[in-house]
Amino acid sequence: MNRSLRCLAAILIAASPASAGTDFTTKALGTAGSEFLNLDVDPRGIAMGGALTADANDSAALYWNPAGLAQIPRAAASAMHNEYFDGIRMQYASYAQRITETSVLGGAVRYMDAGSIVNTDLSGNTIGTFHPRNYVYEVGWAQNIMDLTDAERDISLGMTAKFFQSDMIAKASSFAMDFGMQAHYTDAVIPYNFGAAVQNIGQGQKFDKKRDTLPFRARLGASIRPRPFLLLVLDGVMPVSSHPYASLGGEMELDTRAKARIFLRGGYSMQNQFTGLDGLRGVSFGLGVKAGNISFDYAFVPFGILGNTHRIGFSWALPPKSSRRFRMR
């Protein structure tokens, strides 16, 4: 990829100036800053098209929907390496711990490195280089408000507080909040879940004298398990700086009759259909292997002419103890 495309990718990912035209349509593309806040972090969810609002259930729920933290039995952790195009990389790590019978506390950190980029003046003369970096630090909490064993549904609420900073030619930082809910109907003939979340509520970063608009978005999701080995997910997303779009995906567990469990995943997202990029985009594929308490996951997502992206990660979770809340799971 040439330097102009690389600079374009870095600018779109890092920050864009705010505009009064922000109106939830394609005309608003590029009008929100801090878009790195919306870069997906979990290979499992990414492989399923990013449609995990209703089914996030590990420490990465801090990103997808903080209410999903309440599904963690005891403790969970996850980490991911994201290999973007042309040397752009992102790292992610999270941990969550059950602190009471009905509440879970978690934290996460994200780091994105866009590599070294040549800095030029208005005449095109090279005046040095700059190294864009973005950092996100998150703390989240989830609370069950209706227990599965006392009713035919399990409802939880959650919130995430995040501090983020961009280090480009200039530095800027700010705060934001996410809020979410999930409802699980696991006693139904065909188990299903619902979820909703609002993300990036707060004040944008201020570069020089102008403050950016945060990339707010609202998510509504559903999942269904028609067979014990098959999960189907669907999300509707409304971002402030683009047109609303839908994402869908699925996960199938293979019958290997071995100790390790193998999962095949696939998905499709309409998010990148509004960018004008040529080439294959929108689809995603992935693979997961779970052995004991540890899972290894991989996701592949093409981005048209920008190139292909690869995410690899692992997650770990302690199994539930014998308790009233988890005795039926």
**Is 324 part of a structural domain of the chain?**
no
**Cα–Cα nearest to 297, from 309, 308, 289:** 289
Does 8 map to a domain? Answer: no
pTM of the complete model beyond 0.95:
no
Residue type, 184: H
Res 273: pLDDT: 66
Calpha distance 252→184 (Å, rounded): 20
Between 70 and 275, the higher pLDDT residue: 70
Q: At residue 282, does pLDDT exceed 60?
A: yes
pLDDT in tens, 112-138: 988 777 777 777 777 777 778 899 999
Mean pLDDT of 52-74: 95
In the three-class reduction of DSSP (H, G, I as helix; E, B as strand; rest coil), residue 67 is classed as helix
For 75, other C-beta atoms within 10 Å of its C-beta total 16
| Residue 302 in domain | yes
For the chain, the distance separating the N- and C-terminal CA atoms, rounded to the nearest angstrom, is 49
Instruction: Write out the residue range of the structural domain in which residue 157 sits.
Output: 27-266+276-318
**Average pLDDT of span 149-164:** 82
> How many structural domains does the chain have?
1
For residue 153, tell me if it sits in a domain. yes
Q: In 10 A of CB 1, how many CB atoms?
A: 14
Torsion of CA 25, 31, 33, 37, to 10 degrees: 10
Work out the number of other CB atoms within 10 angstroms of the CB of residue 322. 6
What pLDDT score was predicted for residue 79?
96
pLDDT at 152 over 50: yes
Q: Note whether residue 4 is domain-resident.
A: no
**Residue 134 is part of a domain; what is its CATH number?**
2.40.160.60
pLDDT digits (tens, 9 = 90+) for 100-117: 989 999 999 999 988 777
Residue 235 lies in a domain: yes
112 vs 256, residue with greater confidence:
112
Q: Check whether 150 has a pLDDT greater than 60.
A: no
Does residue 236 form part of some domain?
Answer: yes
Check whether 326 has a pLDDT greater than 70: no
- 41, part of any domain: yes
Residue 156 has pLDDT above 50, yes or no: yes
| pLDDT over 70 (residue 72) | yes
Model confidence over 168-201: pLDDT tens digits? Answer: 777 888 999 999 999 998 878 899 999 999 999 9
3 state SS of 195: strand
